[in-house]
Amino acid sequence: MLKFLMNNPILKIENLSHKYSRAWAIQNINLEIRQTGILGLLGSNGAGKSTTMNIMCGVLNQTEGKVLIDGIDMRLDPETAKMKIGFLPQNPPLYMDLTVDEYLTHCAWLRLMEKQTIKPALEEVKERCGIAHFSNRLISNLSGGYRQRVGIAQSIIHRPQLVVLDEPTNGLDPNQIIEVRALIKEIALDRAVIFSSHILSEVQLLCKDIVMIEGGEIVFTDSIQAFNNYVEPHSSLVTLANPPEKSEVMKIAGVTSVDYLTNNQLRIFFNKAEGITERIVETSVKNGWRLTEINLDKTSVDEIFAQLSNKSKFK
């Protein structure tokens, strides 16, 4: 397995901006990766994710800014920089009339691998991606899930330090998604992986850190835990054995509205989470409401995404 020490950041993006014609696709993108694991690149369609990935992988030249791969400027020395990157675009660049072995060997030559290293690397990557039994099969005769595995195999055959995966589970059935997800986790054990998606549940399950791009700018960068807790809860689900009139609950400081879901269960909305649970409990004890259960409603990841995208009902 690949092991490496990153004295330089494996990826450093400085003030990256790009425009098509007169419209800016991305502006002032700054990002740094120094460790192994999976970084989620999140954003809605058209947010600027693909432009950012195409530039960092050397597919597109930026208008402004720098991309450094292990200290190497992608624009000044693209050949050396690209040898350290593996890239799986949203539409895998597969040659359907080649066998798996023919295609992966071709990809190895494109990556400028030395001749004597290609055969062992080919066998290793086929085994790792679970496609060794399809070595002589035409890619056109593989299922969608195995084609995706071949696409991932071409992105890691040259043992890159950074692997960029653009929507790698797109179009797969649930079983195939689980298999590809497990493969990505294994790959990320010994290298840095950028996982781009607009599917929030996928990012939650795979990534330990998140960068979110909206409108061509970074609007969030932190851990997945910080992302999940980005927005405070706005309501609590409360069960009372002896519930009062709604007007009595409204007297609690910070409460903005109350909905009765059943005779004994109500949802209490508030403008600030800090101290609200204690105030509800204290008021219940004081007035004999006989509180039996209280839970803060967690904001869903979709709501967080909407808020960061300036689409939230709470904005």
Q: What is the dihedral of CA 220, 224, 230, 234, to 10 degrees?
A: 140
pLDDT of residue 268: 93
Here the contacts of 43-49 (C-beta below 8 Å, separation 24 or greater) are: 43/198, 43/212, 43/213, 43/214, 44/198, 44/214, 44/305, 44/309, 45/198, 47/213, 47/214, 47/215, 47/216, 48/213, 48/214, 48/215, 48/216, 48/217, 49/166, 49/196, 49/198, 49/213
With both helix axes pointing from N to C terminus, report the angle between 144-156 and 115-128 in degrees, rounded to the nearest 10: 140
Residue 245, burial from CB neighbour count under 10 angstroms (0-12, 13-18, 19+): exposed
Give, for 268, the enclosing helix (H) or strand (E).
strand 265-270
Q: In angstroms, what is the C-alpha Rg of the chain?
A: 25
**φ/ψ (deg, to 5) at 40:** -85, 125
Tokens of 104: 């992966």
Enter the tokens of residue 32.
Answer: 């740094």
**Please, what are the domains in the chain?**
11-228 (3.40.50.300), 235-298 (3.30.70.1560)
Cα torsion 296, 297, 300, 306: sign: negative
Residues 6+ apart with CB under 8 A from 126: 100, 104, 132, 135, 153
The pLDDT score that the predictor gives to residue 217 is 92
**CA 232/CA 303 separation, integer angstroms:** 11
With a cut of 70, list the residues of the chain below it in pLDDT. 1-6, 230-233, 298-303, 307, 309-315
For residues 254 and 181, give the distance between their C-alpha atoms in angstroms, rounded to a whole number.
43
For 7, 25, 128, 170, 255, the CA distances from 90, given in Å and listed in that order, are 31, 18, 21, 8, 46
Q: N- to C-terminal Cα distance for the chain?
A: 47
Task: Check residue 310 and give its pLDDT.
Answer: 61
* Three-class SS state of 65: strand
Q: Please state the pTM of the whole predicted model.
A: 0.75
